[in-house]
């Protein structure tokens, strides 16, 4: 697209000739001076994400207010807001505002769950503990049996 207009905003998807589809991305074209730059693709839980609030008309220092679902969540003198470890609860509509310049259109932050390792589930830990206790008990019983047999052999040969 060479020239874009606010009407070009929306959800986009890429499809290959084989029918494979990409994730849906949201692209917002804004005519206003304030832009919120956020990831167009889903962010995995646990990753870091940075939102950037820009003023198209000036690059001078400004304070940006960041909102999630309409609620003020952070003020920033740098124009950036970083979430160090994204959680599913961070998913939502974000926007930013610059005093005297206006506010950005809302942008959806999509968070996807990480694939969990089966060994991290609580039931798996209990299984590992039971297996370890069972193994230690069996080894102790085996050593006791070998010791008793050994003592029996010594007495039989000394007689």
The residue segments making up the domain with residue 91 are 6-112
- The answer to whether residues 10 and 24 belong to one domain is yes
Whether 139 is covered by a domain: the verdict is yes
What tens digit of pLDDT does each residue of 84-131 get? 999 999 999 999 999 888 899 899 999 998 765 555 555 667 777 888
- The answer to whether residues 36 and 104 belong to one domain is yes
- Which helix (DSSP H) or strand (DSSP E) does residue 25 occupy? strand 25-27
Nearest to 90, CA basis, from 106, 116, 112: 112
| Least confident residue range of 49-63, 71-85, 96-110, 123-137 | 123-137
- The answer to whether residues 63 and 17 belong to one domain is yes
Write down the pLDDT at residue 159. Answer: 41
- The answer to whether residues 17 and 84 belong to one domain is yes
Instruction: Tell me the CATH number at 100.
Output: 2.60.40.10
Kindly give, in sequence order, each residue whose CB lies less than 8 Å from that of residue 5, ignoring residues fewer than 6 positions away: 29
Are the C-beta atoms of 29 and 98 separated by less than 8 Å?
no
Q: Report whether pLDDT(12) > 90.
A: no
* Average pLDDT estimate for 125-145: 85
């Amino acid at each position: 697209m060479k020239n874009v207009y606010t009407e070009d905003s929306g959800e986009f998807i890429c499809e290959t000739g084989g029918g494979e589809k990409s994730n849906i991305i949201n692209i917002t074209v804004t005519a206003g001076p304030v832009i919120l730059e956020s990831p167009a693709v889903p962010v995995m839980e646990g990753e870091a994400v940075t939102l950037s609030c820009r003023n198209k008309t000036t690059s001078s220092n400004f304070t940006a207010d960041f909102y999630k679902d309409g609620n003020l969540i952070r003020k920033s003198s740098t124009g950036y807001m970083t979430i160090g470890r994204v959680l599913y609860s961070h998913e939502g509509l974000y926007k930013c505002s610059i005093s005297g310049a206006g506010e950005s259109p809302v942008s959806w932050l999509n968070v996807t769950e990480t694939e969990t390792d089966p060994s991290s589930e609580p039931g798996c830990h209990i299984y590992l503990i039971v297996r370890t206790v069972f193994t230690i008990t069996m080894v102790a019983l085996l050593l006791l049996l070998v010791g008793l047999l050994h003592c029996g052999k010594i007495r039989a040969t000394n007689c």
